[in-house]
Structure 1
Amino acid sequence: MPQPIRRAVIPAAGLGSRLLPLTKAIPKEMLPVGDRPVIEHTVRELVASGITDITIVVSGGKSLIQEHFRPNPALVAQLRADGKAAYADAVQEVGELSRRGHITYLDQHGPYGNGTPVLNAARNSGDEPMLVLWPDDVFVAHVPRAQQLIAAYNATNSPVLALMPMQPGDSQRYGVPVVKEEFDGGLLRITGLVEKPRPEEAPSHFAAIGGYVITPGIIDELREQTGRWTGAGEIYLTDAINAFAATRAVYGQVIRGQWYDTGNPLAYLTAQFAAALADPDYGPHLRRLARDLDPADALVAG
């Protein structure tokens, strides 16, 4: 039987350079999408999926993340005394996420690359499988993405990557899986990933979009990379997954739902706009605004 997944890691040590100057003083993970910071969407997804141990790997300048999730009973009490019960409930609920997800924070140490925060978190996970989700992704789905990945892992007892269909011309933006076999429900057996291939060289029409079930074997491959590291280059999950897939089974799960990436200005604005349109209070007004606004009256940068 597969080992139950209780743990997750959220790598949140990046600089957010593609979103400067927004991220000069504010961590990119704290930029709002809808009525909450983007990282809260990820934490809520994990808690809703039954994860009870969440490690957020951070770097300097990320203290706002800890502040956001830290319970603040004094503020809650003040809001209730002022008759602002709805605000009090909202603040209290965010603090509860820290308890329900047992959130801990870990400073990133080691070489750059997205494999390093996973290795950092693995020191506390023993030989357990764990989820890895990025803090700048937002999924809107009837069944949370994390639950879909866990279900695929339970069915295969193997590492699992989150996949989405892509347009052929987009292949140079993603890791593209080499598909060996397709099963019902969007489950794919894959033999590796090709990073950002040209459209004519893409091995499939799927994209790896960030979201993994990582098993101890993948951690061992990351340690192998670190052992060979000489101070140049970076440690990447893709390399560990490809090394593992050379001799053992790896799967991809095509995620059912809508994915929003917030890692660049256009993607962030798209996610923010979609969240606002979906809001029952704001959506109707914004639709009217988009229809009636004269471009000459629009706000412009500078």
Structure 2
Amino acid sequence: MEVTKAVIPAAGFGTRFLPVTKAQPKEMMPVLDKPTIQYVVEEAVVAGIDDILIITGRGKQAIERHFDKSYELEEELEADGKLDRLDRVQDIADLADIHYVRQKEREGLGDAVQYARKHVGDEPFALLLGDTIIENETPCTESLVAAAEEHDSSVLSLERVPWEDVPSYGVADTEEVDPNANSFPVNDFVEKPPRDEAPSNLAITGRYVLKPEIFELLEATEKGVGGELQLTDAIRKLDTVRGVELDGDRYDIGNIPSWLEANVEMALKHDDGDINAAVEAFLEGRDE
């Protein structure tokens, strides 16, 4: 089993960020000097994946423009001698082979994944949500790919969330997790359970590696919570599923507090010392 393709769903409305997302895709919300979806694409590339399908929707053309070449901009940067900025702009267009398909109706994550069937074919694939940034020492997708290839199994990233937040997630039913294991079997999943019915607080966090039989299972799955086709309902039908517990920081850029936190935390770790110093000085001034 070798994972060489990635799918990034990016068709949602981004209603929690209105009105800014009325005209701008939430996946294009900037975190420091890059849009959110660029971090997601870069995570896939670091995992050795350079064939990427982005599932878009109406009003998402800015995503395609971002990863395309911009001849006029490149010529102007070169003429002005801004070669470092020129390199960064050119690198975006050269990140990977990026393809696009449009989700006609927004009927849930499971529905979006179905649009990848022709592109993926009979191969396993990584699935990365386009509005979620995960920062850790070993990129999340790289860890999932390693576990999937080792065990010939679908694998999901899981994170322990506060119990009061459990009803907002799909959560895993697992045996006792060995803290020294790189991955572990998952018995079942429950989509957005009430807190008192949740089997655990291990939540699905927007990163998956799925075997191709997921497409047939999605086709046989009825719409669930919210009248949408839930990917979790199809994953439950897979013969084997493993989990990898997230070790790092996850930012849901679909909501304002998490987006603000991402900008501050990632600025403090940025390789530009001027940015670090400016944010640190601002925070110190707020504490006084």
TM-score normalised to structure 2 length: 0.92
Confirm or deny: 8 A CA contact 2:186 2:241 kept in the other structure. yes
Match of 2:251 among 241, 257, 260: 260
Confirm or deny: 8 A CA contact 1:16 1:263 kept in the other structure. yes
| Counterpart secondary structure, 1:79 | helix
- What amino acid maps onto 2:210 in structure 1? I
Residue 199 (1) aligns with residue 192 (2): no
Report the counterpart of residue 188 of structure 1 in structure 2. Answer: 184
Q: Hey, what's the Cα distance between the residues in 1 that align with 2:252 and 2:99?
A: 24
Gaps of 5+ in 2: none
The Cα of 1:58 is off from its aligned counterpart by 0.6
Residue 224 (1) aligns with residue 220 (2): yes
Confirm or deny: 8 A CA contact 1:186 1:255 kept in the other structure. no
The Cα of 1:110 is off from its aligned counterpart by 5.1
Q: Hey, what's the Cα distance between the residues in 2 that align with 1:20 and 1:162?
A: 28
Residue 240 (1) aligns with residue 234 (2): yes
Q: Hey, what's the Cα distance between the residues in 1 that align with 2:155 and 2:287?
A: 47
In the TM superposition, 1:79-118 aligns within 5 A as 79-97=77-95, 101-109=96-104, 112-118=107-113
- Call closer, same or farther: CA 1:285–1:110 in 2, change over 3 Å: closer
| Counterpart secondary structure, 1:153 | helix
Q: Hey, what's the Cα distance between the residues in 2 that align with 1:75 and 1:265?
A: 31
- What amino acid maps onto 2:75 in structure 1? A
Residue 178 (1) aligns with residue 173 (2): yes
Q: Hey, what's the Cα distance between the residues in 1 that align with 2:16 and 2:83?
A: 38
Match of 1:167 among 144, 162, 167: 162
Confirm or deny: 8 A CA contact 1:181 1:188 kept in the other structure. no
Between 181-190 and 24-33, the greater mean CA deviation after superposition: 181-190
Confirm or deny: 8 A CA contact 1:148 1:255 kept in the other structure. no
Q: Hey, what's the Cα distance between the residues in 2 that align with 1:161 and 1:293?
A: 39
The percentage of counterpart residues that share the same residue type is 38
Q: Hey, what's the Cα distance between the residues in 2 that align with 1:81 and 1:255?
A: 45
| Counterpart secondary structure, 1:171 | helix
Report the counterpart of residue 140 of structure 1 in structure 2. Answer: 135
Residue 214 (1) aligns with residue 207 (2): no
The Cα of 1:124 is off from its aligned counterpart by 1.7
- What amino acid maps onto 2:187 in structure 1? T
CA deviation map 1:185-229 (0-9, x unaligned) = 34121122122333333212311111111112221100112xx56
Q: Hey, what's the Cα distance between the residues in 2 that align with 1:63 and 1:195?
A: 31
Residue 277 (1) aligns with residue 272 (2): no
- What amino acid maps onto 1:49 in structure 2? A
Q: Hey, what's the Cα distance between the residues in 2 that align with 1:175 and 1:233?
A: 15
Report the counterpart of residue 35 of structure 1 in structure 2. Answer: 33
| Counterpart secondary structure, 2:100 | strand
In angstroms, what is the RMSD of aligned CA positions? 2.0
In the TM superposition, 1:2-13 aligns within 5 A as 2=1, 4-13=2-11
| Counterpart secondary structure, 2:138 | coil
Match of 2:67 among 69, 79, 84: 69
TM-score normalised to structure 1 length: 0.88
